[in-house]
Amino acid sequence: MLRSSNSICLDKMASLLSTGKNLASKLDRPILVSLTQPFQINADPVALFSCTKYVSEVRAFWAIPSEKSWIVGAGQAAEIRVEGPGRFQQALTKHQSLMNSAVCEDGVGPGPIFTGGFSFNTGTSVNEIWQAFSEGILTLPRWQFVSQRNHRWLTLNVMVNGHMELDSLLDDLSAQGAALLQKGGSLPNFDGALLKPSTNHWRANVEQALDAVKSRKLRKLTLARTVNVSCEKPIMPEPVLQSLIQNYPKCRIFAFCRDGSCFVGASPEELVSLRGKIVTSTCLAGSAPRGTSKNEDSRLSSWLLESEKERKEHVIVVDWISERMKKLCSQLEYDDVPHVVKLDNLQHLETHFVGVPKNANHILEFVAALHPTPAVGGIPLRPALELIELLEEHPRGWYTGPVGWIDKDGSGSFAIAIRCALLRGNEAFLYAGSGIVAGSDPDREYQETTIKFRPLLTALGIA
């Protein structure tokens, strides 16, 4: 699984832990201790992710395969849980507080990285299937593997207090490291699943949304529907991840596992990324299917660019994002006209934003400003959220919420959680939505959501 020449430098970790324990005693509160070292990983990230189950049921996966970048996390050194309207600011404050007093080895690799996400909305009803995922959870793994292009690192994160027995802790770390290093990288097989019919009242919901648009209560509303998949055996995330990586290498592939559930997906839509002094965002709104031939595909692309309805849907989101980005950026550039991005099953209108932050220096400041965009909610936002709560049969949970990662300096990347499913035991709950504006047709919007289900249905052995 991992090359035998690798070893966890516990002597160096012991020294950092001693420093952290002394600081924790002085400050009278727990302190984060983090050690990063280069690591030669002789396995693909999904196989490594599979091994993490021997350490903890709290696991995380994030990858952009085309960029050869990924994060695999196991265990829980620290956790930030937040809820309510101020959840992003709460998370930002807690993250900075932890990092400000952390004992880290300076200048070595990426350092400690939190991974996780947030629900689409706050204060809404939560059904049983989303119990493991609250309104906001950012987890710092105890064991964190990171690949960026040709560089790979292992980071070990531990929270220590002034009374901790370090010898016992080091023994635990040694045993966990041995499990990760020695376990085989075999992946579970997938036996296929059965699709259960959806009970969503789609046409009636779309017609109510169109009535709200016609009466000018709304300019746009994004409606979602769900399908349920069942299997004779528990559905494991690894085969799903393998399929998504193979078929959607340019997407942000993610999995967050906890308490017997796993939220997994392949999002084509970046909400926002912050890397040093550059911030980027992507608007993905307006869709068309892929053609069965090159000529048909080209014809559908042309239709997408020329469609008044699809361009209207796209412009609404572009205007909304640009307005909010300009407030946080001293410079902002974005495409004058959208271009078409082609995925395996769909093509979308896409606009890229690139800016220079004014005073904002933490990724969550941008997440708070941008979420939820009209691409997943609607505009005006408040009546759109009220109608979503009224019409959608199942709570969204983390579907269409921000998911991603944050490094020690507050840089990071968040995607909008679409093309996703919640795996829970023998069942999978899939979500897909469509933007409703003037001119929308219920049957065409239904077909669009059907196409959007395909990545996960294929990964589950159905489509």
Annotated catalytic sites, by residue? Answer: 220, 269
* 430 neighbors 229 (Cβ within 8 angstroms): yes
Q: How many other CB atoms are found less than 10 A from the CB of residue 407?
A: 19
C-alpha distances (whole Å) from 408 to each of 17, 149, 293 are 18, 20, 47
Please, which residues have CB within 8 angstroms of residue 323's CB and are 6 or more apart in sequence? none
**SS3 state of residue 125:** coil
Residue 181 phi/psi, 5-degree rounding, is -80, -30
Q: How far is the C-alpha of 223 from the C-alpha of 239, rounded, in Å? A: 29
Q: Is the peptide bond before 442 cis (omega within 30 degrees of 0)?
A: no
Structure-block tokens of residue 147:
């690949």
Q: Is the peptide bond before 45 cis (omega within 30 degrees of 0)?
A: no
Q: How far is the C-alpha of 365 from the C-alpha of 357, rounded, in Å? A: 10
* 95 neighbors 80 (Cβ within 8 angstroms): yes
Q: How far is the C-alpha of 362 from the C-alpha of 290, rounded, in Å? A: 38
**SS3 state of residue 360:** coil
Radius of gyration, alpha carbons of the chain: 22
Q: Which residues pair with 346 in a beta bridge?
A: 289
Q: How many other CB atoms are found less than 10 A from the CB of residue 294?
A: 8
* 46 neighbors 242 (Cβ within 8 angstroms): yes
* 2 neighbors 41 (Cβ within 8 angstroms): yes
Q: How many CA atoms lie within 13 A of 27 on its CB side?
A: 17
Q: How far is the C-alpha of 409 from the C-alpha of 136, rounded, in Å? A: 20
Structure-block tokens of residue 275:
């890397």
Q: What is the DSSP string of 387-436?
A: HHHHH-SS--TTTTSEEEEE-TTS-EEEEE--SEEEEETTEEEEEEEEEE
In 3D space, the residue among 430, 448, 425, 437 whose CA is nearest the CA of residue 394 turns out to be: 430
- Per DSSP, the chain holds a count of helices (H) and strands (E) of 11, 23
Q: How far is the C-alpha of 201 from the C-alpha of 60, rounded, in Å? A: 34
